Chains A and B, each alone.
Chain A
């Protein structure tokens, strides 16, 4: 596995490991991980506080039809489209996270609030174009990284977790696959109502500057920790 590196002194984000075959085939792929303490009074699965709702509303006003059409040409969303094709996903069928969010915005007339956790991740995504996911840090064993799934491996540690086909790209800790890359999280590892410590991770691909990825994680951390 590639060495885990600290990116900068003032940030808590660290570059996750990559399995050698992933590093060789997809050299531009990086996983940036960080932790956040949920310090707000609201539960993560409860409604968002007014300032988060307000920010979503402002973002809704900033994103209009013209941008929705042109977004596939913007550098960061375009980089994710290319990467989707490189890993066998058709971006016009399985939409990239930012395009899915923008499409939802156009269909529903705004970025609708769901719960604090989803709203904060959506804020980071729309602001930077970089998708961020959150896991319950208590269920994560060691550093996160990217690798291909193994024969007979399950998604998560639960006994009834679904089996993964071999070769699927997953985000894993030191002992189990915790999420499909750009896909679902393993059941039992998602943050719940009582989660206080979150393991955040963002996926960086070739063409996406470091700054955008660090910014995405920082937006989440600042929102959860009320920095």
Chain B
């Protein structure tokens, strides 16, 4: 905003010429100063609105794509570590950093989407022709379906299936239980 208005303001500064009295010049300068301040204020307000919009999109990606995509950890020195009123330049730098971070996130989302698409294709092939993918494992994490477990092509009925060529696609049982392994001690030992 200010980049476009600045030349207009500068051009106007030469306009009054020698016909104005000193008091009039001061009045004109005061008005221009006020106009410039108002323009900068509007620019800062616009930048804050942009930052808010970028931040919302940034948060949406991080929340929706967790745990496969995490927020890039910013440098602690990237911004002041204490709150202050930011001037136009600082707000622009803040907006640019956030935009760059969002751009990076979007690129990672695209990569992730492509990765999951390839994994789904692979799973489909494993389902259709299990005999071609003996003992191949595909983590469900790659499919974006969770963090534990995997799809695996295994022989039906163990050794018999291996010899007979009976292969099937199986899904593992998922995440370990939160309570951990069952105690190996017998009831007598617990007393």
Name the residue on B nearest A169 (C-beta).
B83
Task: Decide if A69 is an interface residue (CB 8 Å cutoff).
Answer: yes
Question: What mask results when residues 13 to 38 of chain A are scored 1 for a CB within 8 Å of chain B, else 0?
Answer: 00000000110111000000000000
Q: Report the tally of A-B residue pairs with Cβ distances under 8 A.
A: 86
- Quick one: which of A89, A148, A183 has the most chain B CB within 10 A? A89
Minimum distance in angstroms from A163 CB to a CB of chain B: 13
- Interface window among A70-78, A100-108, A136-144, A219-227: A70-78
Minimum distance in angstroms from B45 CB to a CB of chain A: 9
Q: In the complex, what residues of B have CB within 8 A of residue A4's CB?
A: none
CA distance A82 to B52 in the complex (A): 5
Q: In the complex, what residues of A have CB within 8 A of residue B72's CB?
A: 92
Task: Decide if B189 is an interface residue (CB 8 Å cutoff).
Answer: no
Taking a contact as CB atoms under 8 Å apart, the answer to whether B55 and A148 are in contact is: no
Which of B59, B62, B84 contacts A88, CB < 8 Å?
A: B84
Taking a contact as CB atoms under 8 Å apart, the answer to whether B84 and A167 are in contact is: yes
Task: Decide if A81 is an interface residue (CB 8 Å cutoff).
Answer: yes
CA distance A92 to B59 in the complex (A): 10
Question: What mask results when residues 69 to 107 of chain B are scored 1 for a CB within 8 Å of chain A, else 0?
Answer: 001111110111111111000110010001000000000
Main DSSP-derived SS at the A contact region:
mixed
Contacting A at CB under 8 A, from B4-45, are 41, 44
Taking a contact as CB atoms under 8 Å apart, the answer to whether B85 and A167 are in contact is: yes
Q: In the complex, what residues of A have CB within 8 A of residue B94's CB?
A: 85, 88
Given contact pairs A25-B44, A69-B66, A72-B62, a sample of 7 additional A-B residue pairs in the complex whose CB atoms are under 8 Å apart? A25-B41, A26-B85, A72-B63, A82-B52, A86-B91, A89-B80, A167-B85
Could you pull out 26 A-B pairs where Cβ atoms are within 8 angstroms? A22-B85, A24-B41, A25-B41, A25-B44, A73-B59, A73-B60, A78-B55, A81-B55, A81-B59, A82-B55, A87-B83, A88-B80, A88-B83, A88-B90, A89-B82, A89-B83, A90-B74, A90-B79, A92-B74, A93-B76, A148-B84, A165-B82, A167-B85, A168-B84, A169-B82, A181-B83
The 8 A-B residue pairs whose C-beta atoms are closest, nearest first, are A87-B83, A169-B83, A72-B59, A88-B80, A90-B74, A82-B52, A181-B83, A90-B79
- The chain A residues found within 8 Å of chain B, CB to CB, are 21-22, 24-26, 69-70, 72-73, 78, 81-82, 84-90, 92-94, 148, 165, 167-169, 180-183
